[in-house]
Structure 1
Amino acid sequence: MNSYPIPFNEEARLKAARAAPGLTRENEPLFEALTDTARMVLDCPIAHISVVEEDSQWYKCVVGVELDEMPKENSFCTHTIMSDAPMIVPDLSLDPRFHDHPMVREGGPKARFYAGVPLILSSGYRFGSLCALDFVPHAAPTDKQMDMLASLARAVIAALEKAPAKDAAPDDGTGYENFVALVGHELRTPLTVSLGALAMLRTRLVDGIEARLASSSHASTQHLGKLIESILHFSNAETGELRLNEQETDLAALLAEISETHQPIAQISSKTVTGTSGVTPLMMRVDPEQLRIAITSIMLNAVQHGGASITTALRLDADGNAEILITDDGSLGDHVELDALYRPFVVGGDLDHRGTDTSGLGLGLPLTRKLVGMHGGAFEIHADAHSTTACIRLPAWRAAAAV
């Protein structure tokens, strides 16, 4: 499993970074001066301009130490590029994301302090960070120090992109704001009507499968409303980016709620959905709405394409990672290419085979993979002749972060 989160727009981000005019591996005195200033601003022995690639991190400039290109799992900056906000860690050994990191733990260089700001191209894509590190903990930097670091980061970008003339009209963001306002209105209006109609229908149906379907539809529509609000608030139409709205969430309750919502749909298909009884709460710091999308996608695939018996389970593995498991007693057809599921937005198997039998995987699974990757987790499919299991694995540090 990855030890780092992966941006939702990773493919577009990498393409934009590689197209940046000055983003080469050759250092220049200007970048040396900017990086050294960052080191002095934060009173640290080390600072660098990092570039986060698909599997590794390299440096446009480093001061205070010799650093070679390193695997992405050894990079702190993979976390920094997940948002526009600075990332400040006064003591890396006390942070649940990093306390067991190879750069922090015993036997490594024992890095302790990190403060960095993402380097954001004018197109809106983040490719790396300007950051400072120390081998001793620091108090949190002042707002003035971080403002200075952000100004230095903007200077780095200006130098890389060969800044436009001063009289060029800046993008004031109104285009994106208008897009959000228009789309938000067009989505919310029919959704409000649907919620009202379903609520009225629920009051007229007392029991039976029709009542359960109405209740399930109402719950799903409410979820859709929350999802729309989350996407509009935490997405960027210009870069195709989706950010996490992290909250302390009980995974056991979330899984039980989704299972209950799908019970009526499964019953119509003569299928059963059962969960592990007596599951204790498991708190993790995640985005509950995005995780709900991922779990719902797997559940729908099981209901629509899987066997007659579907079970859900939640457990911790030997390393403390949380595993959400959805298993059905159907088998995958030979046309399904499992390896293809791990490629971004590629669907396993031939589309002509979709829906032709009780096996197969739906179109939502590549999206599930991306949403889980944003959490720093892994999504896997395990299949044999008698069953198919979809597993979402979330890193242990997300549980520690919820404490």
Structure 2
Amino acid sequence: MIFPKIPLNEKERLEALLAYQILDTSPEKDFDDIVQLASEICKTPISTITLIDQDRQWFKSKIGLEFNENPREIAFCAHTINCPNQTMIVENALEDERFSQSSLVVNYPNIRYYAGVPLVNPEGFALGSLCVIDKEPRKLDDFQIMALEKLAKQVINLLELRRKNFQLIENHNSLLAKYRDLEQFASVVSHDIKSPLNNIMMLTKLLKENNKNQLDEDGNQMLDYIFTSSEELKKLVDAILNYYKHDNEIVDTSEKIRLNDFIYYVISILDTKNEFEFILPEKNHKIFSNKMALGQILFNLVGNSIKYNDKSKGIITVGFSEDQDHYMITVGDNGCGIDKSNFDKIFNTFETLGKTDRFHAKGTGIGLSTVQKMVQKLNGRIELHSEIGIGTEFKIFLKK
């Protein structure tokens, strides 16, 4: 008997094998199907997918064997990996000096015929073999050998899918951890910023009121600038807090909503001076959705229609239709419009177009990203139609 040689790249080969995280895993149907097919095509009672570990051969899948592993030193497949570019065939093990005295030949399972195709991964490392075994000397024809080699490639494809899946899981978990860290950082920083901002705004206001007769025009303008800048920063902080708050909201519960009643409630908050004309659906439709999520969607869309309207008579239209699977809600206006080149940008978090609204305030770039997030949580989609100087319409499709 001749013991198998250790490959020159053994250290790297073992590292590659471990990267698949497959050793000692439970049986899997995809692998079992391959060994079943290999046995049927080659008409052999035994077939295995073998992986060569440091001191053993381990069978990921097998037919016709009663054990799950063997010492590496007696493994036929340990010889196979030393010639990764060719199929190893032993027509009669009793006549082969490498195996004639092997316990696998003289005892159970009494191997006589062996054909093993190296399982070579994309980096060129032979991880093990797909093999068929018989208890009688024999030969395979060209078709059977070709089929066995193609099946071996499918084993590698399954291993690669497994490795990529683990990489995706690791990347997902890493990103999730980073996101949670960022979320916590944003929350802590935002809360820590709000308190001194409120103090700055309050003290600025008191300073101006208590010293209005002692300050000249420039001094008053400076205090106004400090107050306005602090107010803008506070709005951004509040927007960040709301963004992360709604990111964690669970919206899988639905309730009955009378659409017009709900819209009137949103309008009462946003248009307190009754400056805009609102056109609503003729019928007070009944829908079933998550009230919190829908409220965020309508609050931001109607709010934008008010803030970015440059017409002397602002008109905002809310429409509704439905089919068997979806509700469709539209929010349109006759405002300043959005250039088509910016359609993809406006839903990005913190992305602003550099415009000020009718109240001379800059946007935070969070409102529409929140809308998109809520729509996605409701298993819906959003469409945008807009023309500069004509107006903008958002179409929301919500799954029933």
**Structure showing greater relative contact order (alpha-carbon pairs closer than 8 Å, 6 or more residues apart):** 1
Q: Shorter-chain TM-score: what band?
A: 0.3 to 0.5
Find the structure with the greater CA-based Rg. 2
